[in-house]
Amino acid sequence: MFNPLGGLGDLQKLQQQAQQMQAALQQEQVVVEKNGVKVQVRGDQIIEVIEVDGVIENRVAEAINEAIKKTQELAAKKLIEISSQQQQQQG
């Protein structure tokens, strides 16, 4: 008989791996300087600092971080929709 919870262990393992990757990425930093603009970004796509001509512009960083968060939420919703549609097609 088919066990719908059979993949639960795999799901938990994937979640643990994702959490480990997220923690590792938070420790990484990328700094890019171009045309008087310096951007410091964590590996998990959080903008730490934006500096324009020597002036720190954290308002810009905050707005970009919020936009990124919204796109990530949108992507998560779409992924859930797609996976539920695939499950319905299989079932």
Predicted confidence pLDDT, tens digits, the chain (91 residues): 455 555 566 778 888 888 888 888 889 999 999 999 999 999 988 999 999 999 999 999 999 999 999 999 999 899 888 888 877 777 6
> pLDDT value at position 1?
45
> pLDDT value at position 16?
87
Tell whether 75 is covered by a domain.
yes
Tell whether 31 is covered by a domain.
yes
Nearest to 66, CA basis, from 51, 80, 45: 45
Query: Can you read off the two tokens belonging to residue 2?
Result: 């088919």
Tell whether 48 is covered by a domain.
yes
Tell whether 3 is covered by a domain.
no
Tell whether 68 is covered by a domain.
yes
Tell whether 64 is covered by a domain.
yes
Number of domains in the chain: 1
Segments forming the whole domain that contains residue 23: 8-90
> pLDDT value at position 71?
94
Q: What is the pTM of this model?
A: 0.66
Tell whether 79 is covered by a domain.
yes
Q: Residue 17, CB half-sphere, CA atoms under 13 Å: how many? A: 6
> pLDDT value at position 18?
83
Tell whether 25 is covered by a domain.
yes
Burial of 68: CB neighbours in 10 Å, binned 0-12, 13-18, 19+: middle
